[in-house]
Amino acid sequence: MTHTAIQSKDYIKNIDFEYVETYSFQQQAYYSDATRNTVAISWYDNRITDLNGNLDSSSEKISSFRRNSQDMIKLNHILETEVANLPSWMCLPIYRDAIIFYNNTGEIVSALNVCFECSYMEDDKGININADESTYGLLKSFLISKGHKIRT
């Protein structure tokens, strides 16, 4: 698989959506630190959605908000942070949080998978979403304010 990357500010400005749902998932023991650097977790096993767009069975919806809400304004501001310091950890990301963007008919437009342990984001199509180091702290605080229990 060829890895392509875009900046988070380009990712968020190119999504046409009506509302957002945030999710927590993969909190169980199978996804512990012991499996982090193994090939035990396949590419799609590690994402909020599978090849058919179905949500991971462990997913729990935490919050939702509309495109023009104050929460979306905050999220836009976070993802529009200029990339000055790009983190590059040498570990396999295990996504435990996700932001899913839906159109007006309830179809998934894009799913942003987030690993706060590795400071890494990737969408549901395998595109790496490059973000500044500070974006992860801001995004983490935002999701915690929505009810996410983020481990670090």
What φ, ψ does residue 112 adopt, rounded to 5°?
A: -100, 110
Is 71 a domain residue? yes
Number of domains in the chain: 1
Chunked mean pLDDT (size 10), the chain, 152 residues: 84 97 79 49 68 88 98 98 83 90 97 94 94 97 96 68
Is the sign of the CA dihedral 92, 95, 99, 100 positive or negative? positive
Is 124 a domain residue? yes
The pLDDT of residue 46 is 80
> Considering the entire predicted model, what is its pTM?
0.86
Q: What is the DSSP string of 85-139?
A: S----SS-----EEEEEE-TTS-EEEEEEEETTTTEEEETTS-EEE--HHHHHHH
The pLDDT of residue 33 is 52
Sheet holding 60-66, edge to edge: 5-7, 128-130, 120-123, 108-115, 97-102, 19-24, 60-66
Give me the numbers of helices (H) and strands (E) for the chain, helices first please: 3, 7
Is 151 a domain residue? no
Is 133 a domain residue? yes
Is 109 a domain residue? yes
Is 78 a domain residue? yes
The pLDDT of residue 27 is 72
Is 116 a domain residue? yes
CA nearest to 143, candidates 108, 123, 113, 102: 113
Look at residue 44 and give its three-state secondary structure: helix
Quote the CA–CA distance of 120 and 117 in Å, as a whole number.
8
Contact (Cβ atoms closer than 8 angstroms) between residue 30 and residue 114: no
Which residue range is the domain that position 138 belongs to?
A: 5-146
The pLDDT of residue 47 is 87
Is 75 a domain residue? yes
